[in-house]
Amino acid sequence: MSFQTHDNRIIIIPSIRRSRAMSNHSTTILFALYPGATQLDFTGPHQVFSRLPGTKVLLASTLGGEVEADGIRFGGLAKLAEVPSCDVICVPGGAGTTDNAIADRQFLKEVGRLAAAARFVTSVCTGSLVLGAAGLLVGKRAACHWAWRSLLEPFGAIPDESRVVRDGNLITGGGVTAGIDFALTLAAELAGPDVAQAIQLGLEYAPAPPFNAGLPELAPPHVLDLVQRRMSAAAARRRDAVRAAAARL
């Protein structure tokens, strides 16, 4: 459900379906959110997970209530401390990973607590930096957005350039759009490949981008240079934030 406020903000509140089929959830998937997350990092996987039978999908943050992601305010969030457990925890990426999440010790504490009992610990894009800051990636292979993959190393992780990476019960997705690939991978693990493929077909997920520029080695050199220059302003700040978080472990 969504509504527009008097100042033209869009508020999105997760809908709750009251039916016998949805009342007995066997699997709980939790997205741990924070200000400045990239919305597609979790709304893409959420679209997949919300179609899994017998599954409850939760959104939670340190304070609960609302959180802003890419200019959209998501409401109705639970407080992480009030979530007793989950089967899957997923941390999305975004500018807020280094601006907010990895400096929020309460957030990291709750992520670590929930991850300890979860069947799967997961992330999308730079969400893996949050998992690293929570001490969950030591000696583990993990994916991340190509521009920030090297920032996994201070956390003792092994950067992997694959689009979806699995290391034990850790499953991480690469850059933003890899979140849907990650979600289908996990859906197959939870409910079987036929269910995952049925969800893929229902979503008509058959990527056919108009340009072959989705990776630095494929993009035209001038486009790569443009993107790298745009990211350079944040690079030093992100490195400093990661070094500080790694030093606290």
Active site residue 125: yes
CA–CA dist 121, 91 (Å, integer): 9
Residue 38 corresponds to which tokens in the numbers above? 């990239």
pLDDT for the residue numbered 233: 86
Task: Write phi, then psi, for 142 (nearest 5 degrees).
Answer: -150, 150
- Which one from 86, 90, 125, 144 is the annotated catalytic residue? 125
The mean pLDDT values, 10 residues at a time, for the chain of 249 residues are 50 44 71 98 98 97 97 97 98 97 98 98 98 98 98 98 98 98 98 98 97 97 97 93 95
pLDDT for the residue numbered 24: 57
Contacts of 148 (CB under 8 A, 6+ apart): 126, 129, 238
123: helix, strand or coil = strand
pLDDT for the residue numbered 84: 98
Give the domain CATH number at 210. 3.40.50.880
Number of other CB atoms surrounding residue 25 within 10 Å: 13
pLDDT for the residue numbered 17: 37
Q: Is the pTM of this model over 0.85?
A: yes
Full residue range of the structural domain in which residue 174 is found: 2-248
Number of domains present in the structure of the chain: 1
pLDDT for the residue numbered 92: 98
pLDDT for the residue numbered 21: 34
Task: Write phi, then psi, for 233 (nearest 5 degrees).
Answer: -65, -35
pLDDT for the residue numbered 193: 98
Sign of CA dihedral 242, 246, 248, 249: positive
